[in-house]
């Protein structure tokens, strides 16, 4: 988080504890323990049957396992980014949404679909950005800066969204901040400091930036990418803007998950070095099976840490707990009505903005 320190005006946040990460990885190990012969196919069949019986649809994030992404597609669900997951759930006639992702995604689905039942394979699947932005601290930050417009990233709790003026995803952050800059508004941004710094650099807007970060994207290493690029000089470097500034500076394309997948469709490029969670390779390889996709080096000085590139909380979603939750109805997302209604306002503002600026956004190449 060193890159962001000059903009921090908040008390220092507690770092994400290793014990929390260890707990998540322990659950991942349970989900990913080797299957008994036939177990995996049995689970898939059971899940397909239960989805029908429960009038449920599976919506999975790009960072979940290949298994879940394939199952979502095979059963009439979708694989998407967080906003599209919620939108899809809203338009789909199913009365139950099964959200394979992390908790804020389940909450966003519930906020946009309060009349539907929203279940998650594991409600303990959280996000470091959400954890590093507790609602009471965020409210105090807003109270201390009443002349700033508050903009929060989608990776926040419902309670934080309920206190914000705007919610943004990584795909729409830039156009919304540009719009606010044109209105001469000053922006209070939370919680991802790297994405905040990126939009600040791109727009020059007067911005206060919260010091949160993603445990995955923060680990990508510029030196490792430069070394890899020597072996693959023709490769395009695709970077999610939650990555540190020195990594973003190496990018041929900076974009949201959807934006990075779209970038791989470029027929003139055959090799890509990708700095985001490797779950995204499922959709990239599906769209372009003959192309080469390389994981950007991550973790430590050498930049060779396999587990650092994976999000432990996304990886907690598996076939086993998905089947269990469909059978038991456990892990339902419940949000107090008042919070739900308040959180809907800034989300709806973003969706209205996206709708009204669709042509402009496409022209500017934003995802």
Binding residues for ligand SF4 (CB under 6 A): 63, 102, 127-129, 155, 214-217, 242, 277, 311, 313-314
For ligand SF4, give the closer residue by CB, 181 or 216.
216
Residue 329's Cβ-count burial label (10 Å; 0-12, 13-18, 19+) is: exposed
Cβ nearer to ligand SF4, comparing 279 with 346: 279
Task: Report, in Å, the least distance between residue 354 CB and ligand SF4.
Answer: 20
CB 57 within 8 A of CB 89: yes
Nearer CB in complex with ligand SF4: 188/216: 216
Length of the chain, in residues: 367
Beta strands 271-275 and 292-295 are parallel
Q: Is 165 helix (H, G, I), strand (E, B) or coil?
A: coil
Q: Which is closer to ligand SF4, CB of 181 or CB of 248? A: 248
SS3 21: helix
Task: Indicate the residue among 213 and 264 with the shorter CB distance to ligand SF4.
Answer: 213
Q: Judged by CB, which is closer to ligand SF4: 150, or 276?
A: 276
Which position has the token pair 């598996």?
318
CB 312 to ligand SF4: min, Å: 8
Distance CA 122, CA 303 (A): 30
Closest distance to ligand SF4 from the beta carbon of 234 (Å): 28
Please state the closest distance from residue 202 (CB atom) to ligand SF4, in A.
20
Q: Which is nearer to ligand SF4, 89 or 191 (CB)?
A: 191
CB of 100 to ligand SF4, least distance (A): 12
- Cα 278 to chain centroid distance, Å, stands at 12
CB of 7 to ligand SF4, least distance (A): 19
- Provide the 3-class DSSP secondary structure of residue 308: helix
CA separation for the pair 110, 158 (Å, rounded): 10
Whole-number Å distance between alpha carbons of 353 and 183: 14
Compute the least distance from the CB of residue 162 to ligand SF4, in Å: 20
Rounded distance, CA 61 to CA 38, Å?
26
Quote the least distance from Cβ 316 to ligand SF4, whole Å. Answer: 10
Taking the least distance from each CB to ligand SF4, the nearer of 63 and 220 is 63
User: What residues contact residue 180 under an 8 Å CB cut-off, 6+ apart?
Assistant: 149, 151, 166, 187, 205
Report DSSP letters for 229-281, one per residue. HHH-TTPEEEE-TTS-HHHHTT-SEE--HHHHHHHTT-TT--EEEEES-GGGH
């Amino acid at each position: 988080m060193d890159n962001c320190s000059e903009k921090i005006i908040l008390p220092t946040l507690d770092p994400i504890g290793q014990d929390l990460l260890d707990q998540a990885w322990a659950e991942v190990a349970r989900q990913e323990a080797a299957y008994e012969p036939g177990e995996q196919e049995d689970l898939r069949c059971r899940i397909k049957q239960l989805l029908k019986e429960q009038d449920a649809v599976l919506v999975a994030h790009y960072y979940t396992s290949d298994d879940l992404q394939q199952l979502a597609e095979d059963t009439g669900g979708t694989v998407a980014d967080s906003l599209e997951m919620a939108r899809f759930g809203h338009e789909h006639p199913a009365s139950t949404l099964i959200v394979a992702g992390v908790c804020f995604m389940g909450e966003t689905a519930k906020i946009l679909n309060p009349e539907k039942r929203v279940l998650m394979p594991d409600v303990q699947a959280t996000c470091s950005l959400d954890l590093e932005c507790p609602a009471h601290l965020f409210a105090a930050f807003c109270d201390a800066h009443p002349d700033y417009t508050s903009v929060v990233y989608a990776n926040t709790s419902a309670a934080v969204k309920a206190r914000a003026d705007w919610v943004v995803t990584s795909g729409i952050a830039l156009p919304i901040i540009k719009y606010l800059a044109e209105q001469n508004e000053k922006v209070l941004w939370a919680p991802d400091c790297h994405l905040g710094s990126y939009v600040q650099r791109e727009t020059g807007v007067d911005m206060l930036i919260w010091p949160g970060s993603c445990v995955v994207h923060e680990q990508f290493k510029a030196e490792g990418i430069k070394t890899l690029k020597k072996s693959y000089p023709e490769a395009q470097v695709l970077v999610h803007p939650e990555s540190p500034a020195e990594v973003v500076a190496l990018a041929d394309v900076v974009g949201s998950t959807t934006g990075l997948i779209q970038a791989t469709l470029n027929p003139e490029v055959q090799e890509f070095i990708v700095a985001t969670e490797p779950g995204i390779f499922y959709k990239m390889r599906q769209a372009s099976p003959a192309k080469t996709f390389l994981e950007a080096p991550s973790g430590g000085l050498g930049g060779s840490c396999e587990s650092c590139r994976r999000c432990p909380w996304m990886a907690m979603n598996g076939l086993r707990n998905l089947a269990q939750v469909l059978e038991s109805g456990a892990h339902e997302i419940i949000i107090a009505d008042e919070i739900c209604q308040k959180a809907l306002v800034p989300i709806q503002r973003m969706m209205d903005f996206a709708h009204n600026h669709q042509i402009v956004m496409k022209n500017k190449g934003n995802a």
